């Protein structure tokens, strides 16, 4: 992913506290943690349940990033 796209996604994360995007066939969800930093979850698809939540069984990996919005977007790329 190029630098300008990372900057664009980081800007969305900064203003909305959440950003979701596809990258190399995977679906990324990055959002502000209630405690500190950002939660980054990676899913095999963007399929959602009846309540609009991403389906947990599709989650492949996840983690906590304590850096900036830009760090959080690029954390697991």
Q: Rounded mean pLDDT of 54-68? A: 96
Considering the chain, what percentage of its residues have pLDDT values greater than 70?
A: 100
Give the range of the structural domain holding residue 51, as residue numbers without chain letter.
Answer: 3-74
pLDDT of 62: 96
pLDDT of 53: 96
Domain tally, the chain: 1
Q: What is the pTM of this model?
A: 0.93
pLDDT of 64: 96
pLDDT of 35: 87
Interval 32-50: pLDDT, tens: 999 889 999 999 999 999 9
Q: What is the DSSP letter of 56?
A: G
CA distance 29 to 8: 15
């Amino acid at each position: 992913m190029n630098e300008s796209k990372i900057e664009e996604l980081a800007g969305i994360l900064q203003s909305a506290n959440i950003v979701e995007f596809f990258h190399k066939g995977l679906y990324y969800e990055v959002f502000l943690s209630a405690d500190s930093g950002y939660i980054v979850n990676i899913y095999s698809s963007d399929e959602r349940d009846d309540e609009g939540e991403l389906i947990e069984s599709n989650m492949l990996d996840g983690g906590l990033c304590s850096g900036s919005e830009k760090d959080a977007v690029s954390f697991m790329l």
